[in-house]
Amino acid sequence: MKIDARQIPPEGLVLEETINPSEWELDTDLVKLRGSLELKARLSKVTNVVTALIKVRGAMSLVCSRCLAEFAAQLERDIRIDYPVHSSQPLIDFDPEIRDQLILGYPVKPLCRQDCRGLCVNCGKELNQGDCNCNNN
């Protein structure tokens, strides 16, 4: 999402953009984005600072940190960026900051559900599907 700060009128500006997640290299071992990301930004400028209030929406697949099952989830983030503007460089590229904020917002230990029982440490059976025959339960 790039904008020339000189194009932001006094009443502000709303921009919408669709991003292909592969362009930003957003996938990790535990998080995979599915389909495109929808970005909607409300931009305002006060003196030499542009404020961007950005809503990011999309679908993702996560890997449960307990049972290793893949599950779907919605990505919904609200990001605020305050960007100082200089008359010598009025072009603003919000992409790196948005990318960083999305990755920092990923869950550290995603769970398929709050009561996920995980895997048996002895035989590896997924305990959400029932008890195993080990004595470790």
Could you report the per-residue pLDDT of 30-63, keeping only the tens digit for each? 899 999 999 999 999 988 899 999 999 999 999 9
CB 69 within 8 A of CB 63: yes
Angstrom CA distances, 94 to 4, 31, 106, stand at 11, 22, 19
Judged by DSSP in three states, 106 sits in: coil
Q: How many degrees, rounded to 5, is the angle at CA 60 between CA 56 and CA 66?
A: 130
Averaged pLDDT of the chain: 90
Tell me the pLDDT tens digit for each residue of 78-134.
999 999 988 778 889 999 999 999 999 999 899 999 999 998 888 888 888 888 888
Rg of the chain over CA atoms, in angstroms? Answer: 21
